[in-house]
Amino acid sequence: MQMTIVVEKLELGGSGRTVMVKDTIDIAGHPTRASSRALIDAPDASRHADVVQALLDAGCRITGKTSLHELAFGTTGLNAWTGTAENPRYPGRVPGGSSSGSAAAVAADLCDFALGTDTGGSVRVPACCCGVFGMKPTFGRVSRAGVMPAETSLDCVGPFAASVDLLIEAMAAIDPSFDTLPTVSGVRIGVVPVQANPEVLATLEAVLEASDFELQDAPLPGMQAAYDAGLSVINRETWNACGHLVATGLLGADIASRLQAAGNTTDAALRDAETIRAAFTAEVDAALARCPILALPTMPDYPALVADAADTRAAIGMTAFVRPFNLTGHPALSIPFEGASKLPVGLQLVAAKGADELLLAVARELVRRLEQ
């Protein structure tokens, strides 16, 4: 199992928490290949990414680089070149992408926590699929220096962990501005109505009712437009970063075809996307002014079987509920639960920009109340 999860074993740093790092994040003296044969000859990184240096400064021990959906451009985690990371807790199901190896490493107890990146759900989706916690911080809050791609308006480095306390510890290690968690007394949760698998909805409805937080409906009618706009932005930005690799002939067939299609994203589509970004950001901010936390499923359905997930374009709907919050830049996390079919369901919580500590405080209190 480890061979498809860990692409390179390492022994770096102190004697503290063990951490694995997605192979889009630079570690000095090691190549960053993003699980792509097209980057097989990538040079060794000359310096650590800021988040890697932060981990080392916190006394963490970095024990490996993890596999991913090639070039971080996919949602299933399938990868024909490195092999697909097995889903340790839900065998036969996709591990989710793109940070598949990092989520699977935590689920397999190979490390205390792991780092991934989230451009359109790439931390929260694999966290949901593998039954672990995963967080996308506020855009720009955690340094991306030394992280691929260099230019992005969507991507965030974020942690995976098997418990909310370890998730908090991970955030404290990688975010120098991370503060003490606030009280959650009187916090109201806005429940965002969505169309999803009835078992997913029933599971999360029961969780929220049992959490004993005050609940209120919080519709976000702009979500579909934001999802589409987010896709336009990620397509253009990924083409800008990786489009030159198509000519190598070394990309997986799914990534090559997606990249070529991404190259057709028009300037007009990008302008429209920015208009939608502004409108949906205002919509989310208004909802958060009424309810400091929003709640909705991480994914609309259970993760697909690996055998059924070869067509990655058909699986892109996995990100329907997560990608919109990359467009806006709000912090969001996924809490693991199980549905009636004993398959993974994620509860996604969203907070105001900069309110990462409140988001984690509510997640911790929700889990605590359910465990009583």
- Say which DSSP state 232 is in: H
Q: Is the peptide bond before 31 cis (omega within 30 degrees of 0)?
A: no
- Please report how the helices 223-242 and 267-290 are oriented relative to each other, as an axis angle in degrees rounded to 10: 130
Helix or strand holding residue 336 (H, E): strand 332-338
Query: Active site includes 46?
Result: no
Please tell me the predicted confidence (pLDDT) of residue 314.
56
Compute the distance between CA of residue 25 and CA of residue 150 in angstroms, rounded to an integer: 10
Tokens, residue 192? 């965002």
Query: Active site includes 22?
Result: yes
Please tell me the predicted confidence (pLDDT) of residue 351.
99
Compute the distance between CA of residue 157 and CA of residue 139 in angstroms, rounded to an integer: 9
Q: Do residues 153 and 128 touch, judged by C-beta distance below 8 A?
A: no
Of 6, 171, 249, the C-alpha closest to 104 is 6
- Could you say which residues of the chain have pLDDT below 50? none
Residue entry with tokens 């990371």:
85
| pLDDT single digits (tens) 319-365 | 999 999 999 999 999 999 999 999 999 999 999 999 999 999 999 99
Please tell me the predicted confidence (pLDDT) of residue 21.
98
Q: What would you report as the CA-atom Rg of the chain, rounded to the nearest whole angstrom?
A: 19
Domain ranges of the chain: 2-371
Strand, helix or coil at 123? coil
**CATH H-level superfamily of 2-371:** Amidase signature (AS) domain (3.90.1300.10)
Please tell me the predicted confidence (pLDDT) of residue 190.
99
Compute the distance between CA of residue 316 and CA of residue 266 in angstroms, rounded to an integer: 20
Q: What dihedral angle (degrees, nearest 10) is formed by the CA atoms of 334, 336, 338, 343?
A: 80
Distances (CA, A) of 330 to 154, 200, 243, 320, 367: 10, 23, 28, 16, 21
Query: Active site includes 122?
Result: yes
> Which of the residues 36, 67, 98, 100 is marked catalytic?
98
HSE-up (13 A, CA, CB side) for residue 11: 0
Strand, helix or coil at 244? helix
Q: Is 186 left (phi over 0), alpha (psi -120 to 50) or beta?
A: left
Strand, helix or coil at 350? strand
Whether this prediction's pTM lies above 0.95 is answered by yes
Helix or strand holding residue 258 (H, E): helix 253-262
Handedness of CA 34, 325, 295, 197 (dihedral sign): negative
> Which of the residues 99, 122, 211, 334 is marked catalytic?
122
SS3 content of the chain, % helix, strand, coil (to 5): 40, 20, 40
Please tell me the predicted confidence (pLDDT) of residue 315.
78
End-to-end Cα distance, the chain:
34
Q: Do residues 168 and 179 touch, judged by C-beta distance below 8 A?
A: no
Compute the distance between CA of residue 372 and CA of residue 369 in angstroms, rounded to an integer: 5
